[in-house]
Structure 1
Amino acid sequence: MSKRTIVLAFSGGLDTSYALVSLKEQGWEVLTANIDTGGLHSGEADVVRKRAEELGSAGHFVIDAREELYSRVITYAVKANYLRNGGYPSCVGAERLVQAEKVVQAALDHNADAVAHGSTGAGADHVRYDSVIRALAPQMEIVTPIRDERLTREFERDFLLQHGFHTPDKVTTYSINEGLIGTSIGGKETYGSWDYLPEDAWTYTKSIADAPEDGIELILEFVKGEVISATTPDGTPIPGTGGDAKNYAILRSLNTLAAEHGVGRGIHMGSTMVGNLARVGFEAPGMLTLIAAHRELERLVLSNRQQATKAQLGNTYGDLLHEAVYYDPILDDFRAFLDSSQSRVTGAVRIKLIKGNIIPLGSRSPYSLLDAATRQGVVYGYGSSLWSGDQARAFAHMYAIPGAIAKNAGPQEI
C-alpha cells in the first residue's frame, strides 16, 4: 500500500519543523511548500530548503507570492489606511490568504491527500488556513498536529532534539513570522499585558536610541492611491527601487530604510476572531510609512465626508480580511469603493523619518482642495472673497442656533 501524500506549509520554524518530523513518523509522505511573501532574504530560501530536506521532506518547493500579495492585499490595505484597532497593520495575518491559497494549489498539483499547517489553536492563523482549504479544496483532509496535540514550544524543541535535530534558542523563545507587510513577534513578554519585548527580540528595526540623530527626508509619489516612487529631496531613488520593475520594491526598500531610523516597532493588543484577547509585537516600518504618507495626501484631496465614510468602510474591509472572511462577495464591493475613492489621490508627500517618528512635512496634488480654495480667494485664517463679513456673521448666527436652543431647554438628567 502506497503512502498517503500530504503538503505541509513549511517556514522552517519550530512548529513546522516539528510537524514535518511528526507527520513523517505517522507514515505520511510529506511534501513541503515554502511560500515567499517577503520573508525570504538573500540565501534564506536555501536555508529553509536544507532544513526541510534534513528533517525528511520528500520534496520541497519555494513559491514566490510577493507580487500577488502586493497587488491583491497590500495595495488595498494602503488605500484603506488599515490599521487594526488603530495601530496594527495586520502584518503577517493578512498574508495568510495568499500563502494558504498557494499551499492548496501545490497540494492539488501534486494530487495530495491532505494539507497540513503548523498553526496553534490559540491564535487566528489556523482559522485563516482552514477557511481557504475548505473553500478551495473541500475534499482535502486538514492535518494540524500543533493545534490538535496542544503542544508547547518547549515540547516541540525537545522532540526534535530527541530525533537529532537542533533548534536555536531564539526560535524556541519567540515565534517570529516575517513578510512584506511586517514581522510579528510572539513570546513570553506578549503572553501578559505589562512587559515589553527586550531589545534582542526585535529582528531588524533599530532602537530609537541607536537611530541616526538627523533622520532622513523622503518624497513619496502616488498615482490613484498607489505609491510609484520614493526618493530623496534631490530626486535620487531610495536604495533598492531604482530600475526595479517589481511593484513591491518600494515597500521592501522602505522596510529596510525606515527600520534604520527606528520606525515601525509596536505591540498590538486586541480581540481575536475566536474571542480571546491577544498581544503580539510587530515591526512594520515600510507599511506604517506608506500609510502615513497616503493618509496625508488624502487629507489634501478628499472631502471631509469622503474621508469619514472611507475610514469606516476601510476599517471594516481590513477587519474582514484580518478575520479570514476571504471569499464573501462583500469584499469585492469594498474594493470597488476603495478604487473609486482613489481617483484623485495623486500627488507627492514629503515625510521625515527620525528617531522612530514618521512626520509629514507637506503634500501637493493637481487635485488639491486647498489650492482650489486659494484660487477662488479663500485663505484660512486670512480672508475670503467668496463671502462678505455680513454673510459670515449670518452663518455663525444660524449655525449657533441649534446648540443655543438645546442648552436653554434645561439641564440633562443623568
Structure 2
Amino acid sequence: MKKQYKKIVLAYSGGLDTSVLIPWLKENYGAEIIAVSGNVGQASELEGLEEKALKTGASKLYIEDLQEEFVNDYVIPTVKAGAAYEKYLLGTSFARPIIAKRIVEIAKKEGADAICHGCTGKGNDQVRFELAIKAFAPEMDIIAPWRFWELNSREKEIEYAEKHNIPLKINKETNYSKDKNLWHLSHEGLDLEDPANEAPIQKPGFLELGVSPYDAPDTPTKISLHFEKGIPVSLNGEEMKPLDIILKLNELGGANGIGLLDVVENRLVGMKSRGVYETPGGTILYAAHEKLEEITLDKETAHYKQQVALKFADLVYNGQWYTPLRKALSAFVDSTQETVTGDVTLKLYKGNIIPCSVTSPFSLYSSGMATFDEDDCYNQSDSEGFINLFGLPLKVRALNDKELFEKEGIHFPSVE
C-alpha cells in the first residue's frame, strides 16, 4: 500500500518520463498533480506544454522563466571556476539545482505534501534533484517512481503513453534520452550505449545546436569577447548580457561545428555511461576565459585554481551545489577574478577554436622580460645562483650517495 498524498508537485519537462508520470501518479496516488517546468532555455520544447499537462491530468502548470538567474548564478560561477567534469561542461548538472529550488518554492506555496521527479534510478539527476530538495525542504517527501514502478524501460513508457493517448515527440526508433537548455544538449541511449558505435553526428536530425565539423564552412569565423572580472560583457564590440552572449555564441559556434564531445564518463552511482554533448557557446566561453587567465593570473594562483576546478566540478556534477564547500570555493574563485579583465580574439573553424590575440590592463606578461633579443631588465647571470640553490638538495643527495657507494667499494652509478 503506497502512502497517500493530497497534492504532489511534479518536476515536469514534457519529455517521455514526466509525460507518463501525470496519469500514473493520479492512478496510483489519487492526488492532485501540479506540474512545474523550469525554463532554462529549452526553447521549442516548452511549446504546447501547458495544454499537454492539463490534458493528461495536471490541475495546473507553472512555467518559470529561470534563464537570467540560471546564467548569472550558476553558469557564470562555473565558467569562472573553469570547472569541467571529465571534459563535460556540466550542462545538465548545474541546471538541476535551480529547477529543484524553484519547485520547492512552489510546493511550499501550494501546500503540497510531496515532490515527484522522473529521474532514473541509474542516473545522476536523482541525486541532484533530491539534494537540492533536502537543502530547502528537508521535511518534504520525495517520490521517485523509476526506483519501483512497473514501467522500467523507455519502451514500456512509450507503450503506456500510447495506451493512454499521451502525445510524444519521439518513438521507439528516435528514442534518445536528451536534455536541452541554453547551455547544451545531451544525447544518450540507443546506439550510443555501445562505445564501439560511432556517434551519428552527420545523421540528419541528430545534432540540434549546430553542424558537425565535417559540414562546417571552409572559412573561419572571427570573434572577440571582452571580460570584466571573469564575466563576459561584450561580444564583437557590442555590450550584451551574459545570457545573450551565450545564445549568440551558440549560433556562431554551432555553425562552425564547435563544442561536440563524445565521452564515456563515470557516473556518481558507480557505472560508466556514454554521452554525446553539444555545447557550442559554452566551449567558446571556456576557451576565451582560460586564454585571458593565462596572462592575468600568477603561476601559483593559476595552478592552485586548477585543483579547485576539479573539486568544483565534482561538487556540481554530484548535485552538491548548495553545500558550504561549493560556496567557499566560489568565494575563492571570485577573489582570483579581480584581474581577469580584458579582450580575447578567437577564430572558429571546423570544430576548432584558434586563439588570435589576448590583451588585458592587468597582464602579467612582459615582452621585455621574455624577449630573445637584447634587454636591460633581466640579468641572465642571476640564473646561475638561482639554479645552484634550486638544485642544492639534488646535489647534496648525489654527493652523499657517491660517498656511501665508495665506502662500500661500489662504483657510483653512471648515467646511461
Partner residue in 2 for 1:75: 76
**SS of residue in 1 equivalent to 2:332:** helix
Partner residue in 2 for 1:121: 121
**Residue identity matched to 1:161:** E
Shift of 1:301: 0.9
CA contact (8 A) 1:115 1:140 kept: yes
Shift of 1:81: 1.0
Partner residue in 2 for 1:259: 254
**SS of residue in 2 equivalent to 1:248:** helix
**SS of residue in 2 equivalent to 1:343:** helix
Shift of 1:381: 2.6
**Residue identity matched to 1:49:** E
Q: 368, 372, 376: which is aligned to 1:381?
A: 372
Shift of 1:345: 0.3
Partner residue in 2 for 1:210: 215
Aligned residue pair count: 394
Distance in 2 (CA, whole Å) between partners of 1:141 and 1:180 is 30
Alpha-carbon distance change, 381 to 13 in structure 1, aligned in 2, over 3 angstroms: same
**SS of residue in 2 equivalent to 1:105:** helix
After TM superposition, the structure 1 = structure 2 runs for residues 42-53 of structure 1, keeping only pairs within 5 Å, are 44-53=45-54
Pairing 1:35–2:38 present: yes
Pairing 1:309–2:335 present: no
**SS of residue in 1 equivalent to 2:158:** helix
**Residue identity matched to 1:50:** E
Q: 279, 282, 295: which is aligned to 1:287?
A: 282
Pairing 1:110–2:101 present: no
Shift of 1:314: 2.1
Partner residue in 2 for 1:154: 155
Distance in 1 (CA, whole Å) between partners of 2:382 and 2:130 is 62
After TM superposition, the structure 1 = structure 2 runs for residues 159-198 of structure 1, keeping only pairs within 5 Å, are 159-169=160-170, 173-198=175-200
CA contact (8 A) 2:253 2:281 kept: yes
**SS of residue in 2 equivalent to 1:23:** helix
**SS of residue in 2 equivalent to 1:73:** helix
Distance in 1 (CA, whole Å) between partners of 2:347 and 2:65 is 32
**SS of residue in 1 equivalent to 2:214:** coil
Shift of 1:302: 0.7
Distance in 1 (CA, whole Å) between partners of 2:181 and 2:290 is 23
After TM superposition, the structure 1 = structure 2 runs for residues 210-249 of structure 1, keeping only pairs within 5 Å, are 210-231=215-236, 235=237, 237=238, 246-249=241-244
Shift of 1:197: 2.4
Partner residue in 1 for 2:363: 368
**Residue identity matched to 1:382:** D
Distance in 2 (CA, whole Å) between partners of 1:295 and 1:3 is 50
Q: Residue by residue, what CA displacement relative to the aligned partner does 1:310-353 show, whole Å, maximum 9, x if unpaired?
A: 11112211211221123321222111111100010000000111
**Residue identity matched to 1:192:** D
4+ residue stretches of structure 1 with deviation over 4 A?
396-412
Shift of 1:397: 5.1
Q: Residue by residue, what CA displacement relative to the aligned partner does 1:349-374 show, whole Å, maximum 9, x if unpaired?
A: 0011110111111100001111xx34
Shift of 1:154: 0.4
Shift of 1:175: 1.0
Distance in 2 (CA, whole Å) between partners of 1:80 and 1:113 is 37
CA contact (8 A) 2:221 2:348 kept: yes
Shift of 1:407: 6.6
CA contact (8 A) 2:84 2:309 kept: no
CA contact (8 A) 1:19 1:146 kept: no
Alpha-carbon distance change, 322 to 383 in structure 1, aligned in 2, over 3 angstroms: farther
Distance in 2 (CA, whole Å) between partners of 1:20 and 1:161 is 14
Distance in 2 (CA, whole Å) between partners of 1:279 and 1:406 is 49
**Residue identity matched to 1:303:** D
Q: Residue by residue, what CA displacement relative to the aligned partner does 1:140-188 show, whole Å, maximum 9, x if unpaired?
A: 2211222322610000000111112243335861111111221111112
**SS of residue in 1 equivalent to 2:79:** helix
Alpha-carbon distance change, 302 to 3 in structure 1, aligned in 2, over 3 angstroms: closer
Q: Residue by residue, what CA displacement relative to the aligned partner does 1:196-243 show, whole Å, maximum 9, x if unpaired?
A: 321343222201121111120000000000000111xxx4x4xxxx6x
Partner residue in 1 for 2:27: 25
CA contact (8 A) 2:231 2:242 kept: no
Q: Residue by residue, what CA displacement relative to the aligned partner does 1:251-277 show, whole Å, maximum 9, x if unpaired?
A: 122112211110011123222222222
Per the normalisation by structure 2, the TM-score is 0.89
**Residue identity matched to 2:183:** I
Distance in 1 (CA, whole Å) between partners of 2:198 and 2:127 is 27
Distance in 2 (CA, whole Å) between partners of 1:390 and 1:327 is 53
Shift of 1:59: 0.5
CA contact (8 A) 2:185 2:209 kept: no
Distance in 1 (CA, whole Å) between partners of 2:50 and 2:252 is 28
Partner residue in 1 for 2:381: 390
CA contact (8 A) 1:205 1:264 kept: no
Shift of 1:284: 0.6
Identity of aligned residues (%): 31
Stretches of structure 1 lacking an aligned partner (at least 5 in a row): none
Q: 265, 268, 276: which is aligned to 1:273?
A: 268
**Residue identity matched to 1:114:** A
